[in-house]
Amino acid sequence: MARRFRKKHLERDVARRRIEHLFEVARRRVREGETEWARRAVDLARRVAMRYQTGLPTHLRDQVCPGCKGPLVPGRTARVRVEGGKKSTTCLECGTVRRRPYRKEQLERRKARETSRSGRTVPVVRRDEDLVVEEGTA
Ligand SMILES: [Zn+2]
């Protein structure tokens, strides 16, 4: 019975928070040298994302090795280099290299700095409308 009235948007909200949390755990484990545990946390996070079909947010997807699906933590499990306008991230576990254009990231960062300096508040655009719970529908 309960299944019939699953509140998907709420489940996904919880899933997203769990994913964020699992990545936090993974980063901490890597810092502690517990790579195997970190790997498990990332694996779990990916499974939660699949189960609830939320996908991993971009900033978290960048922290997963496309080769071995392990956590990429710069200075620990990954080497990050910027060269020729490209940012390459090398997984120190399996050697997979991912290259991304760096310019976009630079521009975004500069923009963020400028807005914070001028003291303006930046409006937050909410993309996931499905998180909004309408009153009376629950
Ligand atoms: Zn790897």
Closest by CA position to 66, among listed 96, 92, 38: 96
Question: What pLDDT does 5 receive?
Answer: 67
Question: What pLDDT does 103 receive?
Answer: 81
- Within a domain: 135: no
Cα-to-centroid distance, 105 and ligand 1 (Å): 22
Question: What pLDDT does 77 receive?
Answer: 96
- Within a domain: 52: yes
Cα-to-centroid distance, 116 and ligand 1 (Å): 35
Q: What is the pTM of this model?
A: 0.71
Domain that holds residue 115: 2-122
Domain count, the chain: 1
Element (DSSP H or E) covering residue 100: strand 97-101
| Polymer length in residues for the chain | 138
- Within a domain: 35: yes
Cα-to-centroid distance, 78 and ligand 1 (Å): 9
Cα-to-centroid distance, 77 and ligand 1 (Å): 9
Question: What pLDDT does 137 receive?
Answer: 41
- Within a domain: 28: yes
Cα-to-centroid distance, 100 and ligand 1 (Å): 16
**Averaged pLDDT in 10-residue chunks for the chain of 138 residues:** 71 94 97 96 96 92 96 96 92 96 82 74 50 45
Cα-to-centroid distance, 51 and ligand 1 (Å): 23
Question: What pLDDT does 104 receive?
Answer: 77
Q: Coil, helix or strand for 93?
A: coil
- Within a domain: 137: no
In the chain the first and final C-alpha atoms are separated, in Å, by: 16
- Within a domain: 134: no
Question: What pLDDT does 34 receive?
Answer: 96
